[in-house]
């Protein structure tokens, strides 16, 4: 079926609020989220809202008050003395493996002889109410002999403390390219982590069933992993554990692996007491226990010519992984794969150091290392532009991958040809629509006149690779059931965390069967329905599960078409399904009527479906291959202002042009783009994680950790969609949209650096000195702005604060 | 000690709940006791808004609607009020449709959220819906009754949503929903019937005076007597801090003394020379009064926490709680505010800056309560000579600055409030309050001394900045380093100086007469953002 074209999608302002009619294809229409009506009524249940089974108990974690030390004992007596406390659950209570079955096998379920971070879970208290369990957990005394802790990347680098061995990706001879370059720059900077701050905290509700079977309600992006972990900890086969998740109150990567621990803990408590146990982390516990986006530190040397074109790059990325590997390997890999962003870099040597620190084990977060990789090259290009006194957009454009393969500049450092590059046109279009040149001039004039405020403008591109880099995860399954009244139920391996996956999958199925969207119901993710499903992650939810559901629906449709062909004496291809009707050259029937006929004829009215992403392959030892099926593109132009007295800043205007291919649902896609941008803006501006000298996370609540609020959203916020379909064969011609827009926010960071550079006395001011007056290629100092760009970091970048 | 039954109005019913412990939170009552799980817990400390519900009570003859955080609110504090949770908007018989549209089962607030795609994961959504319902009642429904209009400006929407966090949408669609809801078929609360029910509750409540675990006296003598009788009881007002002791520290209170039902403490009295703000006046109303006197304080007030906290928390609570990072105290110090403390022994008055004796320690005796805050008013504007004409080198300037990582709903890294009067080029009067720089909110006396009697010049400001930086030794913490705080103290004085130059002689007390300085362009379209947290914010207007 040909997807509808989207005139509405081209302009955000004219995007219709909801579909004009319920007939016609569902794809391409801005349908509301499938749960929206229930959500606005408070009638969409999350795990904590489910009716509780009689006898349910509540668990609370006992956490380490020490960042690193020897665990000598746990005194639970003060907790056990409280009426209503049932007991504690410690490592000795684990019937199966004491370690989580992660590839590195470096994470114990409960701390064993050693604690590795402040907040590590030592055990649980189980009580009659959540408040009592928490009160009792505070009363438990842990006897820990402190050991020296590694708390910063600097300390980890010095100690060569790694969770996984270093990885280097080389192409050509970077050292020779740097030596031969007309100009060179070197610099270093740091980028902080980010707390997911899903509004619904981590939670699991474990229910022992009959005959050693289990049901676990888990707020998870990866029910199959929860099933695997729970079975492993309980010493059971996976078939004994069923995991269900109807929806999450946000995930963003934070519930990809880390929902697993919560579920394992709840299940162990339920196992010990033989009763259903719910474990919901309080917000502060969630902050303290679970991992975050990986903080990075960069060290780079870049060689380029007088036009700003890069010929060689040496880049070291030190990754703060926390105390265990978790997903740090793939996250750090993706940072390596994305430190080119959209640019051909010549000869490169990219080193990735996966550092171990005594902090939370950092994990997946929207972009999965991509943002941390891309900020490196965008920073470098901004520095190059300032060093040359050129416009940064011109410098960026000069370095873009060349869509013409003959130019020999379209292969990534990991040897994948960029075949679908639309950035040259996309940047030009945004440059015009955002009025980039005129505003750049106006800002120059403003900055010359203004004594205190400085403005900055930056336009940065995004090229983001779509697919799991671990090839085997790029598969999905689905079930489509058609009931005798013609209503349709679809279930697939993906999970709904707000991103609208279920809505999009329902749209796909509705159109395959030619029924109104309202006739299609998506049900909870359930390991008993679709087994071995991959995490809903890597932006791939719709690509994989949409295609699997489409496959299932097509099989049902093919059987129905065969029946019609047989009844009407036509060819199955002549049978058309649309608007709830089934048309053959001879007759038109309602879908429901046909379904009843089919049932009577004993035609199977349900099917499974399966999908595996084509074309991809990747050698994890050499870091080369085609890890991505395609790239999603976009660009953002952001204007900011800073107050040079205090370092405060504002984002004033944002123009986005983003590529979602043919949008399956423009309202949902716009929501992903805007939400992703604002989340990225938060990462780079207000969201600062601070650990104190003892290794305690001091920013462990919304009172101290500041995600963007409504007033932070720029008053002028224009979003347009690129009008072309995906050049690869993808569901409905669409492209993945979950993560790529996050990195549009790099324009905020670059705009801030431009505003800082415009201030007199700023650290990078001298770097605007042109080539003629600056024979020394190292004289131009990059402007260092550590992210997030808090008022303090901006004031420091302005040179107005002495170093700490 | 027994608990008094908790009684409130919900869905046109009088609800009576016996045996609710005095420290039970409203959210736990809703979710755990009543099984109403539409209201969510996102943080348990009043900072995310997922738990927002709307309360209404009769105040000065009319109904006042307030969106509040249920997570840090003690359940008993809603006694005698009307309550709406997100589930109620489609189920409350008192919500009456203005036009017969049988298909429209959603409240316009919900319909607008649906149409504008305002929910993604949906977990924050009930809270946003309830904050919007509060806005709807105060803005749109009130407009229908002749107060204001049905329009919601973006600024009003942002203020109403300032206490609600969303991690998915980027807010744009939610703000759009706030502006859309007024265009949908109206739904009104049957206020006559609701007032009747509340009156029934009030009558009923009078019979229930007595010795209870959660006590909320209805008169000042009764309150002071209760305080004298039980100095160990936990005093609460809006509970926006004490609530966190319950939810975050799992503390328990056997006895609670709620000061918010005393009419004398809920009043704002405008006297010729001062404003007397009752200690239990909500922060929203208290800042409203201050901004009425000094319009330039509006944004500062709007940046105090989020609206649900300002709707619950009280000015007296903020002052008496004595946090060194409470934002109202530096301002009140700059304004020269005095506090009235009362007990059964009588009243005493002291300057706010003298109230604090150490970190979270105050002059309050065990039997004493803060009852009023007295804020001096400037002589009436008409009495003051027009500074521009009469005295070219004279000005009166009041500013309150807050520097934080986030503009809305954040806690100050540094808060600095200054009031300066310059006559004939010489500083005649100066008061400076500072927050975030010491163990208590502090008056910058040495800095004041450095300025007093000096010419109003850049050189004097530089000297004062040095004095200010020497006067305090701020800590390094998660909000900022000591070096940053110290630097910013001086730089805020510089901002004040620049604003005094920009304001010129047009600034007088109470008149927001800022002019564009000649060196700045008049029209700066791209800087027109109501929240521009920058120097010369007014310039952009």
Q: What is the pLDDT of residue A22?
A: 67
Q: Fold match between A296-469+620-797 and A475-612?
A: yes
Q: Is residue B401 part of a domain?
A: yes
The predicted model gives B41-45 an average pLDDT of: 97
| A48-88 per-position pLDDT tens digit | 999 999 999 999 999 999 999 999 999 999 999 999 999 99
Say if strands B346-351 and B338-343 run parallel, antiparallel, or are unpaired.
Answer: antiparallel
Instruction: Say if residue A317's pLDDT is above 80.
Output: yes
B contact test, residue of A35, A41, A79 with most B CBs within 10 A? A41
Give the residue numbers spanning the domain of B175: 95-189
CA distance B507 to A326: 60
Query: Is the CB of residue A674 less than 8 Å away from at least one CB of chain B?
Result: yes
Instruction: Say if residue B99's pLDDT is above 80.
Output: no
Question: What b-and-e string marks burial along A129-161, b requiring 16 or more CB atoms within 10 Å of the CB?
Answer: ebbbbbbbbebbebebeeeebbbbbeebbeeeb
CA distance A654 to A713: 9
Q: Are A79 and A140 in contact (CB under 8 A)?
A: yes
Q: What is the pLDDT of residue B530?
A: 31
> With 0-12 CB in 10 A as exposed, 13-18 as middle and 19+ as buried, what is B313?
buried
The predicted model gives B282-308 an average pLDDT of: 96
Task: Kindly report the CATH number assigned to the domain that includes residue B458.
Answer: 3.30.390.50
Using pLDDT thresholds of 50, 70 and 90, give the confidence band for residue B502.
Answer: confident
Query: Is the CB of residue B303 less than 8 Å away from at least one CB of chain A?
Result: no
Q: Is residue B531 part of a domain?
A: yes
Query: Is the CB of residue B162 less than 8 Å away from at least one CB of chain A?
Result: yes
A contact test, residue of B172, B327, B494, B516 with most A CBs within 10 A? B172
Instruction: Say if residue A354's pLDDT is above 60.
Output: yes
Q: What is the pLDDT of residue B392?
A: 60
Contact criterion met (CB < 8 Å) for A804 and B481: yes
Q: Which position has the higher pLDDT, B315 or B540?
A: B315
| B327-376 per-position pLDDT tens digit | 999 999 999 999 999 999 999 999 999 999 999 999 999 999 999 999 99
**Eight-class DSSP state of B208:** T
- Give the CA distances from residue B467 to residues A526, A698, B438, B462, B474, in Å, rounded to whole numbers and listed in that order: 66, 31, 15, 9, 14
Please count the structural domains in chain B. Answer: 2
CA distance B462 to B456: 11
Contact criterion met (CB < 8 Å) for B526 and A795: no
Q: What is the pLDDT of residue A583?
A: 98
CA distance B68 to B166: 17
Query: Is the CB of residue B49 less than 8 Å away from at least one CB of chain A?
Result: no
Using pLDDT thresholds of 50, 70 and 90, give the confidence band for residue B389.
Answer: very low
Q: Is residue B320 part of a domain?
A: no
Chain A residues with CB-CB distance to B405 below 8 A: 686, 688, 706, 790-791
Q: Which pair of tokens denotes residue A636?
A: 């953002």
Please count the other Cβ atoms lying within 10 Å of the Cβ belonging to residue B466. Answer: 14
Which of A34, A728, A739, A750 is an active site residue?
Answer: A739
Please count the other Cβ atoms lying within 10 Å of the Cβ belonging to residue A237. Answer: 9
Assigned CATH topology for domain A296-469+620-797: Aldehyde Oxidoreductase; domain 4 (3.30.365)
Per 3-state DSSP, chain A is made up of helix, strand and coil in percentages (nearest 5) of 35, 25, 40
Q: What is the pLDDT of residue B126?
A: 98
Least confident of A520-529, B89-98, B458-467, B505-514: B505-514
Q: Which pair of tokens denotes residue A415?
A: 């040897």
Please count the other Cβ atoms lying within 10 Å of the Cβ belonging to residue A101. Answer: 15
Q: What is the pLDDT of residue A621?
A: 86
CA distance A435 to A425: 15
Q: Are A589 and A549 in contact (CB under 8 A)?
A: no
Instruction: Quote the mean pLDDT of chain B.
Output: 88
* Residue B182 CB contacts under 8 Å (≥ 6 apart), including other chains: B108, B136, B139, B140, B143, B150, B151, B152
The predicted model gives A579-589 an average pLDDT of: 97
Q: Are A401 and A419 in contact (CB under 8 A)?
A: no
Interface ipTM > 0.90: yes
- Determine which helix (DSSP H) or strand (DSSP E) holds B221, and give its type and residue range: helix B220-229
| B57-93 per-position pLDDT tens digit | 998 788 999 999 999 999 999 999 999 999 999 999 9
Q: What is the pLDDT of residue A21?
A: 65
* Residue B292 CB contacts under 8 Å (≥ 6 apart), including other chains: none
Instruction: Say if residue B146's pLDDT is above 90.
Output: no
* Residue A87 CB contacts under 8 Å (≥ 6 apart), including other chains: A76, A80, A125, A126, A272, A273
Q: What is the pLDDT of residue B151?
A: 83
Share of chain B above pLDDT 70, in %: 87
Q: Which residue of B has its CA nearest to A681?
A: B170
Assigned CATH topology for domain A56-148+196-289: Aldehyde Oxidoreductase; domain 4 (3.30.365)
* Residue A428 CB contacts under 8 Å (≥ 6 apart), including other chains: none
Q: Residue B262: which region, alpha, beta or left (left: phi > 0; alpha: psi -120 to 50)?
A: beta
* Of A342, A523, A347, residue with least CA distance to A420: A342
Say if strands A453-466 and A630-643 run parallel, antiparallel, or are unpaired.
Answer: antiparallel
Task: Kindly report the CATH number assigned to the domain that includes residue B119.
Answer: 1.10.150.120
Q: Are B164 and B128 in contact (CB under 8 A)?
A: yes
Q: What is the pLDDT of residue B102?
A: 53
**Eight-class DSSP state of B476:** P
The predicted model gives A586-597 an average pLDDT of: 98
> With 0-12 CB in 10 A as exposed, 13-18 as middle and 19+ as buried, what is B245?
middle
Compute and round to an integer the Cα radius of gyration of chain B: 24
In degrees, rounded to 5, the angle at the alpha carbon of residue A720 between the alpha carbons of residues A715 and A724 is 170
A190 catalytic? Reply is: no
Least confident of A716-725, B11-20, B367-376, B379-388: B379-388
Q: Which pair of tokens denotes residue A751?
A: 């705009």
The predicted model gives A676-700 an average pLDDT of: 98
Instruction: Quote the mean pLDDT of chain A.
Output: 94
**Eight-class DSSP state of A511:** H
Q: Which pair of tokens denotes residue A156?
A: 């980890």
Q: Is residue B505 part of a domain?
A: yes
Q: What is the pLDDT of residue A762?
A: 62
Q: How many CB pairs under 8 A join A and B?
A: 297
**Eight-class DSSP state of A53:** P
* Of B315, B321, B308, residue with least CA distance to B360: B321
Instruction: Say if residue B505's pLDDT is above 50.
Output: no
Query: Is the CB of residue B40 less than 8 Å away from at least one CB of chain A?
Result: yes
Instruction: Say if residue B2's pLDDT is above 70.
Output: yes
Q: Where are the domains of chain A?
A: 56-148+196-289, 296-469+620-797, 475-612
Alpha carbon of A583: minimum distance to chain B alpha carbons (Å): 32
| A379-393 per-position pLDDT tens digit | 999 999 999 999 999
Query: Is the CB of residue B540 less than 8 Å away from at least one CB of chain A?
Result: no
Q: What is the pLDDT of residue B381?
A: 55
- DSSP states of B495-515 as a string? HHHHHHHHHGGG-BTTB----
Q: Which position has the higher pLDDT, B207 or A592?
A: A592
* Identity of the residue in A45, A138, A500 whose CB atom sits nearest the CB atom of B37: A45
* Of A408, A557, A686, A435, residue with least CA distance to B478: A686
**3-state class of B117 per DSSP?**
coil
CA distance A21 to A591: 19
Alpha-helical runs (H) found in B391-481: 445-451, 458-471
Alpha carbon of A245: minimum distance to chain B alpha carbons (Å): 13
* Of B14, B66, B23, B56, residue with least CA distance to B205: B14
| A475-499 per-position pLDDT tens digit | 999 999 999 999 999 999 999 999 9
Least confident of A217-221, A573-577, B103-107, B528-532: B528-532
Using pLDDT thresholds of 50, 70 and 90, give the confidence band for residue B3.
Answer: confident
Q: Which residue of A has its CA nearest to B414?
A: A646
Q: Is residue B417 part of a domain?
A: yes
Chain B residues with CB-CB distance to A129 below 8 A: 32
* Of B443, B466, B463, B442, residue with least CA distance to B451: B463
Least confident of A9-18, B80-89, B295-304: A9-18
CA distance B47 to A639: 29
Q: What is the dihedral of CA B240, B243, B248, B253, to 10 degrees?
A: 150
Distance from chain centroid for Cα B180: 26
| B252-274 per-position pLDDT tens digit | 999 999 999 999 999 999 999 99
End-to-end, the C-alpha distance of chain B in Å comes to 58
Q: Which pair of tokens denotes residue B153?
A: 């400006």
Q: Is residue B10 part of a domain?
A: no
* Of A710, A800, A191, A652, residue with least CA distance to B407: A710
Q: What is the pLDDT of residue A803?
A: 63
CA distance B199 to B192: 11
Per 3-state DSSP, chain B is made up of helix, strand and coil in percentages (nearest 5) of 35, 20, 40
Could you say which of B139, B169, B189 is where a domain stops? B189
Instruction: Say if residue B128's pLDDT is above 50.
Output: yes
Using pLDDT thresholds of 50, 70 and 90, give the confidence band for residue A13.
Answer: very low
Q: Are A393 and A459 in contact (CB under 8 A)?
A: yes
Could you say which of B132, B167, B189 is where a domain stops? B189
Instruction: Say if residue A303's pLDDT is above 80.
Output: yes
CA distance A187 to A315: 10
The predicted model gives A240-259 an average pLDDT of: 98
Using pLDDT thresholds of 50, 70 and 90, give the confidence band for residue A781.
Answer: confident
CATH class, A475-612 region: alpha beta
Using pLDDT thresholds of 50, 70 and 90, give the confidence band for residue B531.
Answer: very low
Instruction: Say if residue A4's pLDDT is above 70.
Output: no
Share of chain B above pLDDT 90, in %: 80
Using pLDDT thresholds of 50, 70 and 90, give the confidence band for residue B520.
Answer: very low
CA distance A675 to A712: 12
- Determine which helix (DSSP H) or strand (DSSP E) holds B276, and give its type and residue range: strand B274-278
Chain A residues with CB-CB distance to B171 below 8 A: 678, 708-710, 713
Could you say which of B126, B154, B189 is where a domain stops? B189
Alpha carbon of B451: minimum distance to chain A alpha carbons (Å): 21
Say if strands A525-526 and B361-362 run parallel, antiparallel, or are unpaired.
Answer: unpaired
Q: Are A412 and A340 in contact (CB under 8 A)?
A: yes
Contact criterion met (CB < 8 Å) for A42 and B478: no
Name residue, tokens 């106006």. Answer: A442
* Of A344, A364, A373, residue with least CA distance to A464: A373
CA distance A281 to A47: 12
Query: Is the CB of residue B48 less than 8 Å away from at least one CB of chain A?
Result: yes
Using pLDDT thresholds of 50, 70 and 90, give the confidence band for residue A804.
Answer: low
Q: Which residue of A has its CA nearest to B535?
A: A643
- For chain A positions 220-249, those within 8 Å of chain B (CB to CB) are 247-249
Instruction: Say if residue B519's pLDDT is above 90.
Output: no
């Amino acid at each position: 079926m040909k997807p509808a074209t989207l005139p509405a999608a081209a302009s955000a302002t004219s995007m219709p609020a909801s579909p004009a009619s319920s007939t016609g294809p569902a794809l391409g229409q801005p349908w509301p989220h499938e749960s929206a009506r229930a959500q606005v009524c408070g009638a969409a249940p999350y795990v904590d809202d489910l009716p509780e089974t009689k006898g349910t108990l509540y668990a609370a974690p006992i956490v380490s008050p020490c960042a690193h030390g020897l665990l000598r004992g746990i005194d639970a007596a003060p907790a056990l003395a409280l009426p209503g406390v049932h007991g504690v659950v410690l490592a000795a209570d684990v019937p199966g493996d004491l370690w989580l079955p992660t590839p590195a096998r470096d994470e114990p379920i409960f701390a064993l002889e050693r604690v590795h971070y402040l907040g590590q879970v030592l055990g649980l208290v189980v009580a009659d109410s959540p408040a009592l369990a928490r009160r009792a957990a505070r009363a438990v005394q842990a006897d820990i002999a402190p050991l020296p802790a590694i708390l910063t990347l600097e300390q980890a680098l010095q100690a060569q403390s790694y969770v996984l061995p270093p990885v280097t990706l080389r192409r050509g001879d970077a050292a020779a390219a740097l030596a031969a370059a007309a100009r060179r720059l070197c610099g270093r900077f740091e980028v902080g982590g980010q707390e997911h701050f899903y509004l619904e905290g981590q939670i699991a509700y474990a229910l022992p069933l009959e005959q050693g079977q289990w049901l676990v309600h888990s707020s998870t992006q990866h029910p199959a992993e929860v099933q695997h972990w729970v079975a492993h900890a309980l010493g059971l086969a996976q078939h004994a554990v069923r995991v269900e998740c109807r929806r999450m109150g946000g995930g963003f990567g934070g519930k990809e692996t880390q929902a697993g621990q919560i579920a394992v803990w709840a299940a162990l408590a339920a196992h010990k007491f033989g009763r259903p146990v719910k474990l919901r982390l309080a917000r502060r516990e969630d902050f303290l226990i679970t991992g975050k986006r990986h903080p990075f530190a960069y060290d780079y040397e870049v060689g380029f010519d007088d036009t700003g074109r890069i010929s060689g790059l040496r880049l070291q990325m030190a990754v703060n992984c926390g105390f265990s590997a978790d997903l740090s390997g793939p996250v750090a890999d993706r940072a390596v794969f994305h430190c080119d962003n959209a640019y051909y870099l010549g000869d490169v040597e990219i080193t990735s150091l996966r550092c171990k620190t005594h902090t939370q084990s950092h994990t997946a977060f929207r972009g999965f290392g991509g943002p941390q990789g891309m900020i490196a090259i965008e920073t470098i290009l901004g520095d190059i532009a300032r060093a040359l006194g050129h416009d940064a957009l011109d410098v960026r454009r000069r370095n873009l991958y060349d869509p013409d393969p003959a130019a020999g500049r379209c292969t990534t450092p990991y040897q994948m040809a960029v075949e679908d590059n639309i950035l040259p046109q996309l940047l030009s279009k945004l440059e015009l629509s955002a009025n980039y040149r005129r505003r750049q001039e106006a800002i120059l004039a403003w900055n010359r006149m203004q004594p205190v405020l400085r403005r900055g403008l930056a336009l940065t591109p995004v090229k983001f690779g779509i697919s799991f880099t671990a090839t085997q995860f790029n598969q999905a399954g689905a079930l489509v059931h058609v009931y005798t009244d013609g209503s349709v139920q679809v279930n697939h391996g993906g999970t709904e965390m707000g991103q609208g996956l279920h809505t999009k999958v329902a749209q796909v199925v509705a159109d395959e069967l030619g029924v109104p969207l309202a006739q299609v119901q998506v049900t909870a993710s359930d390991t008993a329905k679709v087994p071995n499903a991959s995490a809903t992650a890597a932006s791939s939810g719709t690509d994989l599960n949409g295609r699997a559901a489409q496959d299932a629906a097509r099989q049902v449709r093919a059987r129905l078409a065969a029946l019609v062909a047989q009844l009407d004496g036509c060819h199955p291809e002549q049978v058309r399904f649309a608007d709830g009707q089934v048309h053959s050259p001879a007759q038109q029937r309602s879908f429901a009527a046909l379904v009843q006929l089919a049932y009577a004829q004993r035609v199977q009215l349900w099917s499974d479906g399966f999908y595996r992403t084509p074309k991809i392959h990747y050698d994890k030892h050499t870091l080369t291959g085609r890890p991505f099926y395609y790239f999603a593109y976009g660009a953002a132009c952001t204007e900011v202002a800073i107050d040079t007295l205090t370092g405060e800043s504002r984002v004033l205007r944002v123009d986005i042009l983003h590529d979602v291919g043919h949008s399956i649902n423009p309202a949902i896609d716009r929501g992903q783009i805007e939400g992703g941008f604002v989340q990225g803006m938060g990462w780079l501006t207000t969201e600062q994680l601070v650990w104190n000298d003892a290794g305690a996370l001091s920013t462990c609540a919304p009172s101290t950790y500041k995600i963007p609020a409504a007033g932070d959203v720029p008053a002028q916020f224009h979003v347009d969609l690129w009008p072309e379909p995906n050049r690869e064969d993808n569901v409905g011609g669409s492209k993945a949209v979950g993560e790529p827009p996050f990195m549009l926010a790099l324009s905020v960071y670059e705009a801030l650096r431009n505003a800082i550079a415009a201030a007199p006395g700023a650290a990078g001011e001298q770097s605007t000195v042109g080539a003629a007056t600056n024979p020394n290629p190292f004289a131009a100092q990059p402007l260092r702005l550590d992210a997030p760009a808090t008022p303090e970091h901006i004031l420091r970048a302005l040179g107005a604060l002495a170093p700490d | 000690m027994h608990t008094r039954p908790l009684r409130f109005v919900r869905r046109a019913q009088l609800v009576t709940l016996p045996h609710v412990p005095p420290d039970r939170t409203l959210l736990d009552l809703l979710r755990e006791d009543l099984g109403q799980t539409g209201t969510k817990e996102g943080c348990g400390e009043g900072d995310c808004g997922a738990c927002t519900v709307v309360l209404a009570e009769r105040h000065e003859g009319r109904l006042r609607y307030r969106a509040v955080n249920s997570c840090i609110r003690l359940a008993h504090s809603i006694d005698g009020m009307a309550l709406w949770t997100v589930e109620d908007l489609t189920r409350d018989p008192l919500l009456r449709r203005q036009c017969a549209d049988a298909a429209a089962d959603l409240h316009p607030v919900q319909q607008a959220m649906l149409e504008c795609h305002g929910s993604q994961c949906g977990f924050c959504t009930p809270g946003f819906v309830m904050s919007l319902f509060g806005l709807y009642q105060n803005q749109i429904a009130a407009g229908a009754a002749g107060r204001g209009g049905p329009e919601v400006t973006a600024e009003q929407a942002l203020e109403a949503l300032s206490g609600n966090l969303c991690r998915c949408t980027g807010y744009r669609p939610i703000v759009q929903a706030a502006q859309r809801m007024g265009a949908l078929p109206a739904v009104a609360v049957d206020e006559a019937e609701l007032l009747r029910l509340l009156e029934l509750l009030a009558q009923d409540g009078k019979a229930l005076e007595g010795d209870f675990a959660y006590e909320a006296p209805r008169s000042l003598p009764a309150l002071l007597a209760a305080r004298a009788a039980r100095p160990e009881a936990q005093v609460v007002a809006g509970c926006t801090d004490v609530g966190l002791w319950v939810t975050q520290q799992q503390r328990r209170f056997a006895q609670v003394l709620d000061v918010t039902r005393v009419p004398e403490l809920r009043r704002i009295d405008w006297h010729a020379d001062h404003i007397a703000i009752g200690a239990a006046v909500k922060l929203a109303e208290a800042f409203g009064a201050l901004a009425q006197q000094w319009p330039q304080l509006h944004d500062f007030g709007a940046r105090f926490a989020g609206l649900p906290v300002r709707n619950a928390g009280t000015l007296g609570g903020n002052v008496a709680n004595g946090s060194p990072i409470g934002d109202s105290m530096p301002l009140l110090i700059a304004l020269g505010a005095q506090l009235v403390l009362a007990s059964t022994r009588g009243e005493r008055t002291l300057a706010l800056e003298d109230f604090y004796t150490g970190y979270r320690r105050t002059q309050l005796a065990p039997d004493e309560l803060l009852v009023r805050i007295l804020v001096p008013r400037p002589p009436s504007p008409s009495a003051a000579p027009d500074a521009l004409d009469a005295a070219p080198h004279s000005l009166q300037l009041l500013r309150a600055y807050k520097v934080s990582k986030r503009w809305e709903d954040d806690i100050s890294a540094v808060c600095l409030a200054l009031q300066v009067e310059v006559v004939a080029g010489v500083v005649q009067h100066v008061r400076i309050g500072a927050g975030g720089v010491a163990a208590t909110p502090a008056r910058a006396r040495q800095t004041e001394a450095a300025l007093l009697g000096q010419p109003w010049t850049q050189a004097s400001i530089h000297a004062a900045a040095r004095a200010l930086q020497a006067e305090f030794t701020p800590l390094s913490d998660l909000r900022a380093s000591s070096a940053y705080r110290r630097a910013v103290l001086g730089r805020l004085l510089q901002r004040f100086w620049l604003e005094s130059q920009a304001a010129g002689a047009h600034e007088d007390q109470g008149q927001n007469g800022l002019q564009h300085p000649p060196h700045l362009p008049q029209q700066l379209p791209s800087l027109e953002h109501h929240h521009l947290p920058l120097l010369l914010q007014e310039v952009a207007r």
